[in-house]
Amino acid sequence: MANFGGRKNGIVSRAMWEGLNPEILALILVRIPVEELLQTIPLVCKSWWSAVAGPYCWSNIDVEDWCRRWSRFDRVDSLVRKLVRRSRGMCRRLSAYRLGDPGFAFAANWVRCLKVLQIPMSEVSDKMVEKHAVATLTVLDISYCLRITSKGLEAVGKSCKFLIQLKRNMPPLELEETEKRAKKMDDGEAMAIANTMPGLNRLELAYGRFGDHGLNAILTNCKALTHLDIEGCLYVELNGDLEQRCGQLMDFKPPWTDDDHFLAVAAAADDDTEDFSSSESE
């Protein structure tokens, strides 16, 4: 805590803080970690207590760092509900990990002007997304939210007409044989995005299970798209003109990298060497 000149200047310093507009004071306090805002700052003086108890410090609720230390969804839900209440519906950005259905429903119903919602690794379900629409969203991150499927994505697209950025990255798929992987290909999420989110300009779908059909639909329907990340999408082959169309985007991250290609070629060469050695020994 800063030293404002000792006891002699204490009264002057306190008067300065007491007279400061809460909105101006909030601009200073929001740089402080959430834990200190909730536990330490209210004890400093009355004006600081008023600032953190009111809505001005909570237009941007970012508790990602705090959430990383907790694995219990109920603790995350409880904190999010507390801070959303303090925002009095003025929250414009909510960023949290491991949010559950109750926390999501509460935020969706309380916040009137939420623009950015970042809730990766959360336990939010299709049912909650369908029931509690957040129509004002422009940016959404639901990466690694395994309980949200194409059904939930469709509900998001139908209700969030202003959505321009979507992150839907998923955990890497286990390496399997081609014929087994083919059975798991699913264009459902890609089609839901293509059919309901035409205004997207940034889209991240790393390790998605869609193939060329789903990618083609996205490129065809999302005319504003400039940034696309499909790293690790093993079912995308970029056949036909897909590679050319993707290359025309401002920023495109393909399913594989040059290193991936090199490793695949090296592995194939090793297999050929082993086969040749076996035939020679015979």
User: pLDDT tens digits for 225-258?
Assistant: 999 999 999 999 999 999 999 999 999 999 987 5
What's the CA gap between 114 and 179, in Å, rounded? 44
* CATH number of 182's domain: 3.80.10.10
72 and 136 share a domain?
Answer: yes
For the cut 70, the answer to whether the pLDDT of residue 16 exceeds it is no
- The whole-chain average pLDDT of the chain stands at 84
Domain membership flag for residue 11: no
Q: Span 2-17, mean pLDDT?
A: 47
Q: Regarding predicted confidence, which is higher, 26 or 137? A: 137
What are the b/e assignments for 211-221, b being 16+ CB within 10 Å? bbebbbbbbeb
pLDDT of residue 140: 99
36 and 67 share a domain?
Answer: no
107 and 132 share a domain?
Answer: yes
For the cut 80, the answer to whether the pLDDT of residue 48 exceeds it is no
What's the CA gap between 29 and 124, in Å, rounded? 31
Q: In what order do the strands lie in the sheet with 60-62?
A: 60-62, 93-95, 116-118, 139-141, 165-167, 202-204, 227-229, 251-253
62 and 90 share a domain?
Answer: yes
Q: Regarding predicted confidence, which is higher, 200 or 69? A: 200
pLDDT of residue 8: 44
125 and 225 share a domain?
Answer: yes
Q: Span 60-81, mean pLDDT?
A: 89
Give the total number of structural domains in the chain: 2
155 lies in which domain range?
Answer: 56-281
45 and 170 share a domain?
Answer: no
Q: Regarding predicted confidence, which is higher, 53 or 79? A: 79
247 and 166 share a domain?
Answer: yes
33 and 172 share a domain?
Answer: no
150 and 269 share a domain?
Answer: yes
For the cut 80, the answer to whether the pLDDT of residue 6 exceeds it is no
For the cut 70, the answer to whether the pLDDT of residue 93 exceeds it is yes
| Full-model pTM | 0.81
29 and 105 share a domain?
Answer: no
Domain membership flag for residue 5: no
Q: Which amino acid is at 207?
A: Y
136 and 96 share a domain?
Answer: yes
For the cut 90, the answer to whether the pLDDT of residue 123 exceeds it is yes
Burial class of 3 by CB neighbour count within 10 A (0 to 12, 13 to 18, 19+): exposed
For the cut 70, the answer to whether the pLDDT of residue 90 exceeds it is yes
247 and 212 share a domain?
Answer: yes
